[in-house]
Amino acid sequence: MKKLLKYMKGHTLECVLAPLFKMIEATFELLVPLVVANMIDMGISEGDNTYLIKMSLVLAALGALGFLFSVTAQYFAARAAVSFAAVVRSRVFGKIHSLSFSQIDKVGTSTLVTRITGDVNTVQNGVNLALRLFLRSPFIVFGAAVMAYIVDKKATIVFLVTILILAVIVYTIMFISMPLYKKVQGALDKLTLTTRESLGGARVVRAFGMEEAQKKKFAVANNELNHFQKFAGTVSALTNPLTFVILNGAIVWLIYSGAVRVETGAITVGAVVALYNYMSQILVELVKLANLIVTLTKGVASGGRISAILDMEDEITDGEASADDVALKMDNVSFSYNVSNEPALKNISFEIRKGETLGIIGGTGSGKTTFTELLGAYYLATEGEVSVFGLDVSKWDKNLLREKIAYVPQKAVLFIGSVRDNLRWGNEGATDEELFEALKAACAYDFVMEKDGALDYNVIEGGKNFSGGQRQRLSIARALVKKAPVLILDDSASALDMATEAKLRANIKALSWGPAVVTVSQRTSSVMHCDKIIVLDEGEAVGIGKHSELLENCAVYKEIYDSQFGGAQQ
């Protein structure tokens, strides 16, 4: 949590004024019992109505000023807390985008969603309450003890003993509840993951009639969260009743001893009322303080979780590219995912230069997508070296590396906005002429121009107002707008017919900037014209060469080819 406080920089004034105004308001509140005591002893007892009116006006003035200072403090506290949360949320979002895929897999998407939403909101509430009450409540508690000493020295011991016992109780409950709230947040992560899976896979769930199974899975996660929340809530809830018991016991003692001393003339009725009011103020403030501690406990737990994300070190460090004209190279590369000991890729080696084409083919689960993700440094190799233009991808500046590579993922993803907005992701300054050029190269020009508004046509969430093949072609066009020296197509033409795909290949080959192209596919027709083809089988390169060479020397490639072309030679 301490590491997050640096994001309060720039809000020093609000952080000073909020507690300052609260303590000024608290000072007015501490004066109220003295005014009431004087009204009883000097106004009511003496029958002085003029004095009572004056003191009533003083009370009204104290209340009005207290309200004004309180509202001002609330404003500054809220402003500081909201601005702080906005900065933290922005930093976490930026950090998530800098993490490699392996780091995201390790943490979990649901956990990241929870930390950027629920955890940040919890920390925001903690900062808000801390600025308002962290100094005010202790100030009132100890201020009331001081004022009680001024009113009656003998009663001070009751206040001090009461405050000491309450401090022990509050600290103990805070010490016990803090780790409990960490467990609550962990259980919330699991519940978020279960919910996300069910919503994302709703069609699959229904197709296999697994609604009841998913409901049971959700119920287990929900019950676990419920259990932790109840346990943590029960511990935290002990604060109020224990506080009330002790403080009310102290109040009873004050009234009893005060009544006895009033009879003997050792103390006035007004003084007893003042002592009662001060003890009541302590009661109210400790209840507030207890709630503050619960909120701060949650905030500290959430702050620790947020800091854990921000403290994750980038796997890619800054470096400078050499003048090497080898666009892509792997040297004895192996890779294993965090969740598996089995390597997804084993001992892969190759190189291609700018303008050359590389085809990657293999069955489902052979490691094709993993291969492309290593090239883009979304994952880092477990063994060996992956280099782009002569520099290991782990040493590239992330932004410069992304500028060198245009990547079209296996699943076409479009974002809410216009077609123009989606195409400009790789090049914000692209002109309409450049966008049209990319659309033509991706065989997407005709269907875009048929839409209302053409480039201004609105894309709904996920691009669901386009067909699967149209989404793929728009994704390819978006990559072409970038004009990067390396183009990776990860099975991104699977929804296209053979004729359209052939036209797309020809258009990419004719691109003016001549990128190195990596084409991933399960269809031999997509890769057979490449300068070099790598055949993957269970993560191993069982064949590397041209189409004609692989037909003769690689049984896996020939089997795939024969299954698709019936043995006919092309």
Domain membership flag for residue 460: no
What are 286's strand-pairing partners? none
44 vs 434: which has the higher pLDDT = 434
Identify whether residues 154 and 204 lie together within a single domain: yes
Identify whether residues 301 and 346 lie together within a single domain: no
Domain membership flag for residue 430: no
DSSP code, position 530: S
Identify whether residues 354 and 242 lie together within a single domain: no
Helices 269-310, 239-264: axis angle to 10 degrees equals 160
Lowest mean pLDDT among 93-97, 104-108, 534-538: 104-108
Residues in the chain: 570
* Number of domains observed in the structure of the chain: 2
Domain membership flag for residue 433: no
What's the whole-number mean pLDDT along residues 288-315? 80
Domain membership flag for residue 477: no
Q: In angstroms, what CA-CA distances link 213 with 188, 203, 216, 376, 467?
A: 20, 14, 5, 38, 32
Identify whether residues 7 and 94 lie together within a single domain: yes
Identify whether residues 390 and 533 lie together within a single domain: yes
pLDDT tens, residue by residue, 209-234: 888 988 998 999 999 989 988 888 88
Identify whether residues 117 and 246 lie together within a single domain: yes
Domain membership flag for residue 202: yes
Structural domain boundaries enclosing 32: 2-308
Identify whether residues 355 and 211 lie together within a single domain: no
What does pTM read for this prediction? 0.64
Parallel, antiparallel, or unpaired for β 458-459 and 540-545? unpaired
Domain containing residue 346: CATH number? 3.40.50.300
Identify whether residues 247 and 341 lie together within a single domain: no
pLDDT reported for residue 340 = 63
Identify whether residues 237 and 344 lie together within a single domain: no
Long-range contacts of 3-9 (CB under 8 A, 24+ apart): 3/307, 3/310, 3/311, 4/88, 4/123, 4/303, 4/306, 4/307, 4/310, 7/84, 7/87, 7/88, 7/91, 8/80, 8/84, 8/127
C-alpha span between 521 and 165 (Å, rounded) = 72
Identify whether residues 290 and 350 lie together within a single domain: no
> Among the three residues 308, 339, 372, which one is the final residue of a domain in this structure?
308
Domain membership flag for residue 295: yes
pLDDT reported for residue 424 = 92
> Among the three residues 308, 337, 366, which one is the final residue of a domain in this structure?
308
C-alpha span between 181 and 63 (Å, rounded) = 38
* pLDDT grade for 534, boundaries at 50, 70 and 90: very high
Highest mean pLDDT pick, 150-154, 196-200, 269-273, 441-445: 441-445
Domain membership flag for residue 190: yes
C-alpha span between 32 and 144 (Å, rounded) = 11
What's the whole-number mean pLDDT along residues 496-520? 90
558 vs 365: which has the higher pLDDT = 558
Query: Is 80 exceeded by the pLDDT of residue 545?
Result: yes
Domain membership flag for residue 321: no
Phi-psi region of 452 (alpha: psi -120 to 50; beta: other; left: phi over 0): beta
> Among the three residues 308, 336, 361, which one is the final residue of a domain in this structure?
308
Domain containing residue 128: CATH number? 1.20.1560.10
Identify whether residues 107 and 22 lie together within a single domain: yes
DSSP string over 189-239: HHHHHHHHHHHHTHHHHHHTT-HHHHHHHHHHHHHHHHHHHHHHHHHHHTH
pLDDT tens, residue by residue, 319-378: 555 545 788 999 999 998 875 668 889 999 999 998 899 999 988 888 898 898 898 888
Identify whether residues 294 and 354 lie together within a single domain: no
